[in-house]
Chain A
Amino acid sequence: MAHLTETETKKEYLKVFFGLMALTVLTVVAAVLHFPESWGKAGDTLHIGIGILIAIVKVLMVIYIFMHLKFDHPYLRFMVIVPVFLFFVLTFALNVLGP
């Protein structure tokens, strides 16, 4: 993080840390809450889909800030974003189309 000072970087890290914690709590809440039974399969799909979406947001936060990808060379960004994107598509599609 060349353009940020040490304290600014630390602040950024702490923000990501608390964001990750909040999203972890949100995951647990989303797992406990159920959609109405009358929704049937659509409710299941939403239930699982929301869990995966929260995980995807968390993963992007870690990759971009903790792993510095936001500030890295565009080549590197391309190389990482492609498999990560494919992974997201795969897990999301399988989960949402599955049950």
Chain B
Amino acid sequence: MSGLVLDHEPVSGIPHGKLAMWVFLASEIMFFTGFFASFIVLRNANIDLFTNSAQALNKWLALLNTIVLIGSSLTMALSVLAIEKGNKRNFQLYMTITILCAFTFLIVKYFEYTSKFSHHIYPWTDLFYSYYFLTTGFHGMHVIGGIIPMVWMLMRSFTKKGYHNHVRVEVLGLYWHFVDLVWIFLFPVLYLMFPTSYVPPIH
């Protein structure tokens, strides 16, 4: 070691992976903020179009997906707690439920998309659907990006050596809760909250 002397303590006690994930998530917040901000600005400028187009969205499927994702957030938090306490069985149980919830979300999303396509609604149909597919598409990719390490960790935990890296599970948990957060905002903004006193013009 060199004789370097530091005036103040540079160590915050935050694991590197965890700090890196939070920095990544802070940038992710800004990534989605761009979409949200431009969506709202364009909606305010095209209130007729956005209100009309949003009527065709299936709000009940979106509600189901909200419940599924919030549930998966709970089981993810519980699986982090389980691996921290060294409880392998509970970790495997909660992680499996989280993965199943993630797949349920994607399957519901698949049905939502295909029903849109069957009604000849595509990303290029109008401005609203362009945003609908953009934001939910990016969100869906984040869900897939979460499933891959979850499955990997679960499979590792079934091997002889087992899986004991609880910091990594915690970091993945942070990511997964963020995916849930994005949906918590997408649900009211995209599906529910539109001006109500507004009456669409008759074409």
Binding site for B on A (CB under 8 A): 6, 9-10, 13-14, 16-17, 20-21, 24, 27-28, 30-31, 34-35, 37, 39-41, 43-44, 47-48, 51-52, 54-55, 58-59, 62-63, 65-67, 72-73, 75-76, 79-80, 83-84, 86-87, 90-91, 94-95, 98-99
Contact of A62 among B23, B73, B85, B194 (CB under 8 A): B73
Residues of B in contact with A, size category: 35 or more
Are A47 and B193 in contact, with the CB atoms below 8 A? yes
Residues of A contacting B14 in the complex (Cβ-Cβ under 8 angstroms): 72-73, 75-76
Give the secondary structure class of B's interface: helix
Does any Cβ of A come within 8 Å of B198's Cβ?
A: yes
Are A62 and B181 in contact, with the CB atoms below 8 A? yes
14 further interface pairs, Cβ-Cβ under 8 Å (given A13-B74, A20-B70, A75-B12): A6-B81, A13-B77, A24-B67, A28-B59, A30-B192, A43-B197, A51-B192, A67-B173, A67-B177, A72-B14, A79-B22, A98-B43, A98-B44, A99-B198
Are B185 and A79 in contact, with the CB atoms below 8 A? no
Residues of B contacting A91 in the complex (Cβ-Cβ under 8 angstroms): 33, 36-37, 40, 185, 189
Give the secondary structure class of A's interface: helix
Closest to B188 in A: A51
Complex Cα distance, B40 from A98, in Å, reads 8
CB contact under 8 A between A43 and B37, given known A24-B70, A51-B188, A73-B13? no
CB distance from B41 to the nearest CB of A (A): 6
Are B73 and A76 in contact, with the CB atoms below 8 A? no
Are A35 and B13 in contact, with the CB atoms below 8 A? no
Complex Cα distance, B7 from A93, in Å, reads 43
Are B188 and A87 in contact, with the CB atoms below 8 A? no
Complex Cα distance, B70 from A27, in Å, reads 14
Complex Cα distance, B59 from A24, in Å, reads 12
Contact of A90 among B37, B184, B194 (CB under 8 A): B37
Does any Cβ of A come within 8 Å of B154's Cβ?
A: no
CB distance from B190 to the nearest CB of A (A): 11
For chain B residues 57-113, which have a beta carbon within 8 Å of chain A? 59, 63, 66-67, 70-71, 73-74, 76-78, 81, 85
Are A80 and B26 in contact, with the CB atoms below 8 A? yes
For chain B residues 168-202, which have a beta carbon within 8 Å of chain A? 173-174, 177-178, 180-181, 184-185, 187-189, 192-198
